[in-house]
C-alpha cells in the first residue's frame, strides 16, 4: 500500500515538476529511511514508463488531429551532394527540394490537395477532385498532367536521385532542353493548370481493373503562370493491365509554348510499360517529340530489386535522349544505385551515372556523376 501511495505521489510530481526534482524527492525519502534504495529505483522505473506512455499517447493524439480523413498534413525534402567531372564546378551540396502538402477528403466523393515547394517558393498543386464512381473522376486545378509513368512520380517516390534526361527535357522537369522552362523559367515538375477526367474500367477476376485512363485540357504554361497565347493543350494517357502488376499503354500531348516572342509547337507521343512484383520492379518508356519543328526522341529502361524487403534496393537504369534527330545530337546515361530506407519515407540514395555524348553536344565525349542524397519525409 505504501508503494502504491508513493508511486502516485511520484507520478503527480512528474506532472508538476521536472525529472531532476523528482529524483531529488526520492533521494530525500531514501535518506530519511522512508524508502530503501531498491524501492526508490523501482519507483523511478515505474514513473519513467508512465511518463513515456503519457507522452506517446499525447503525440498520437496530436498526429491524429493532423492526419484525419478530412485533413492530412505531410512533407518531404531532399538534401543532395553531387560530384561531376563534366562541369566547371565539380562539387555541389544543397537543399534540392522541400515540399509541404495538405490533402483531405470532405466526403466519399470530394477530395482536395495543396502542395508547396519551399526551396524555390512556388505553389505546385492546388486542386479539387469529384469522384462519381471508379469509372469517372473529375479533377480541376493545378496538378500533374497525365503524360508518362515516370512523370506521375514525385521526387520522394522516384527510384533515382534525378529524373531521366528524356523526362526532364520532354515532360517539363527543367532539363537543358525543356521548352516549358524556356517559357516560364521554372521547374514545373510536369504540372500545369487545367481540368482532367480519369477512371478505371472493366473489372477482372484477379481483383484489378483492365483499363486506366486520363484525359485533360491544360493551359500549357506550367505552374503559377498566366496564359500567354490563345490555345489550350491536350494530354491523354491510357494503360491496360491484362495481368495484375503488368501495365502497358501510351498517350499524347498536343500543345504550344511561347518564348522568344513566338509560339512554338510542343507535341509529344509516348509508349509505356511497367511490371511490379513483391521484390522487383521494372519500367520502360519511349517518347517522340516535335518542338517547333525540331524532331526529338528519347527512351529509358529501369530495373529495381529489393535486397532487403522495404529496406534496401539496388537499381540500374539506361536513358537515351536525342535532342535533334536530324543531326543525331545524342546522350546516353548509364546509372546504378541503391536506396536505403531507415524509416518510412526516409532514405539515403547513392547513384553513379556515366554519360556518353555525341560530338554534336557541346560537352562532347563522356563524363561521370555521383549523387548522394538524404531524404526526410513525414
pLDDT at site 282: 98
Beta pairing, strands 91-105 & 72-84: antiparallel
Return d(Cα 141, Cα 121) in angstroms, integer: 18
Contact status, residue 339 vs residue 317, Cβ threshold 8 Å:
no
Task: Give the residue from 300, 326, 320, 323 showing the smallest Cα distance to 179.
Answer: 323
* pTM value surpassing 0.75: yes
Return d(Cα 328, Cα 375) in angstroms, integer: 37
Return d(Cα 369, Cα 375) in angstroms, integer: 19
CA distances from residue 189 to 168, 252, 367 in whole angstroms, order as listed: 8, 18, 26
**Domain ranges (residues) in the chain:** 2-64, 78-377
Could you write out the DSSP letters of every residue in 164-183? -HHHIIIIIS--TT-HHHHH
Superfamily in which the 78-377 domain is placed by CATH: Porin (2.40.160.10)
In this structure, the chain runs to a length of 378
pLDDT at site 11: 45
- Grid cell locating 348: 539515403
Contact status, residue 213 vs residue 238, Cβ threshold 8 Å:
yes
pLDDT at site 55: 62
Residues with Cβ within 8 Å of residue 8, at least 6 apart in sequence: none
Contact status, residue 157 vs residue 347, Cβ threshold 8 Å:
no
DSSP category for residue 20: H
CA distances from residue 261 to 184, 185, 187, 238 in whole angstroms, order as listed: 13, 14, 20, 34
322-331 pLDDT tens trace: 999 999 999 9
Task: Give the residue from 124, 127, 109, 100 showing the smallest Cα distance to 69.
Answer: 109
pLDDT at site 371: 97
Contact status, residue 145 vs residue 190, Cβ threshold 8 Å:
yes
Could you write out the DSSP letters of every residue in 63-101? HHHTBSSS-EEEEEEEEEEEEESSSSS-EEEEEEEEEEE
* Residue spans of the chain under pLDDT 70: 1-22, 25-26, 29, 32, 34-35, 43, 46-66, 363-364
At 23, which helix (H) or strand (E)?
helix 19-31
Q: Taking each helix axis as running N to C, give the angle between helix 37-65 and helix 19-31, from 0 to 180 degrees, rounded to the nearest 10.
A: 160
pLDDT at site 151: 97
Task: Give the residue from 300, 370, 377, 301 showing the smallest Cα distance to 338.
Answer: 370
Return d(Cα 248, Cα 273) in angstroms, integer: 4
Amino acid at each position: 500500500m505504501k508503494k502504491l501511495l508513493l508511486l502516485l505521489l511520484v507520478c503527480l510530481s512528474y506532472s508538476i515538476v521536472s525529472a531532476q526534482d523528482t529524483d531529488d524527492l526520492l533521494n530525500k525519502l531514501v535518506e530519511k529511511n522512508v524508502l530503501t534504495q531498491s524501492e526508490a529505483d523501482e519507483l523511478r522505473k515505474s514513473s519513467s514508463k508512465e511518463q513515456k506512455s503519457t507522452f506517446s499517447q499525447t503525440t498520437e493524439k496530436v498526429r491524429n488531429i493532423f492526419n484525419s480523413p478530412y485533413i492530412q498534413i505531410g512533407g518531404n525534402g531532399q538534401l543532395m551532394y553531387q560530384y561531376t567531372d563534366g562541369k566547371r564546378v565539380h562539387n555541389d551540396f544543397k537543399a534540392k527540394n522541400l515540399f509541404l502538402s495538405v490533402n483531405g477528403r470532405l466526403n466519399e466523393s470530394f477530395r482536395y490537395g495543396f502542395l508547396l515547394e519551399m526551396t524555390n517558393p512556388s505553389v505546385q498543386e492546388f486542386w479539387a477532385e469529384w469522384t462519381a464512381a471508379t469509372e469517372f473522376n473529375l479533377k480541376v486545378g493545378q496538378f500533374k498532367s497525365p503524360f508518362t509513368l515516370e512523370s506521375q512520380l514525385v521526387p520522394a517516390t522516384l527510384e533515382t536521385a534525378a529524373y531521366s534526361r528524356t523526362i526532364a527535357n520532354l515532360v517539363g522537369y527543367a532539363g537543358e532542353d525543356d521548352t516549358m522552362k524556356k517559357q516560364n523559367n521554372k521547374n514545373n515538375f510536369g504540372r500545369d493548370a487545367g481540368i482532367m477526367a480519369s477512371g478505371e474500367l472493366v473489372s477482372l477476376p484477379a481483383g484489378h481493373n483492365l483499363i486506366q485512363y486520363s484525359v485533360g485540357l491544360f493551359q500549357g504554361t506550367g505552374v503559377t503562370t498566366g496564359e500567354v497565347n490563345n490555345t489550350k493543350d491536350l494530354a491523354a494517357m491510357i494503360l491496360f493491365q491484362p495481368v495484375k502488376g503488368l501495365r502497358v499503354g501510351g498517350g499524347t500531348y498536343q500543345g504550344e509554348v511561347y518564348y522568344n516572342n513566338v509560339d512554338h509547337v510542343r507535341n509529344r507521343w509516348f509508349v509505356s510499360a511497367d511490371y511490379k512484383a513483391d521484390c522487383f520492379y521494372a519500367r520502360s518508356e519511349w517518347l517522340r517529340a516535335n518542338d517547333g519543328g525540331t524532331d526529338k526522341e528519347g527512351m529509358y529502361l529501369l530495373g529495381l530489386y529489393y535486397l532487403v524487403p522495404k529496406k534496401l534496393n539496388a537499381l540500374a537504369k539506361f536513358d537515351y535522349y536525342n535532342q535533334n534527330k536530324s543531326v543525331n545530337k545524342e546522350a546516353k546515361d548509364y546509372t546504378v544505385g541503391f536506396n536505403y530506407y531507415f524509416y518510412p519515407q526516409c532514405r539515403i540514395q547513392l547513384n553513379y551515372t556515366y554519360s556518353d555524348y555525341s560530338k554534336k553536344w557541346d560537352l562532347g565525349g563522356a563524363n561521370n556523376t555521383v549523387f548522394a542524397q538524404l531524404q526526410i519525409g513525414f
